[in-house]
Amino acid sequence: MTAFDILAALPTPVLVGIGGTLGALARYGVDLALSGGRRSTLAVNVLGSIALGALVAAPISSTAATVFGTGFCGAFTTFSSFAVSVAEDASDGQRWRAVQYAVGTLLAALVGVALGGGVVGML
């Protein structure tokens, strides 16, 4: 029995928890490396989008999709921090900055999904 067979036998919430733990630790590492703030939020959202695009395009098992897609990418990325930054800018009267950050992040994330999926699709 392999380690992956053992993982596949675990209940879904445990699989999500394992991936989520790894994703949260990775996000913390990015926050430390980039000193937190918007750059960290943008980085994890774009990197997570690339990873999720690659996962969707890859021929992986449902167990791997649960651990890495739902768990890891779900904990690694952060829509809430992104939304708070946009809302704070808008409420502070910096509407143009809010629009730039919102549109820029969403476009970068969509490009990331396409890039991740495209790279895996070429393999």
Query: Which residues are documented as binding site for Na(+)?
Result: 74, 77
Q: State the helix-helix crossing angle for 37-57 and 12-34, rounded to 10 degrees.
A: 140
Q: How many angstroms separate the CA atoms of 68 and 80, rounded?
A: 20
Q: How many angstroms separate the CA atoms of 120 and 59, rounded?
A: 9
Residue carrying structure tokens 């999926």 = 117
Summarize the annotated binding site as residue ranges: 74, 77
Q: How many angstroms separate the CA atoms of 108 and 16, rounded?
A: 26
Residue 120 one-letter amino acid: V
Is residue 19 within 8 Å of 71, Cβ to Cβ? yes
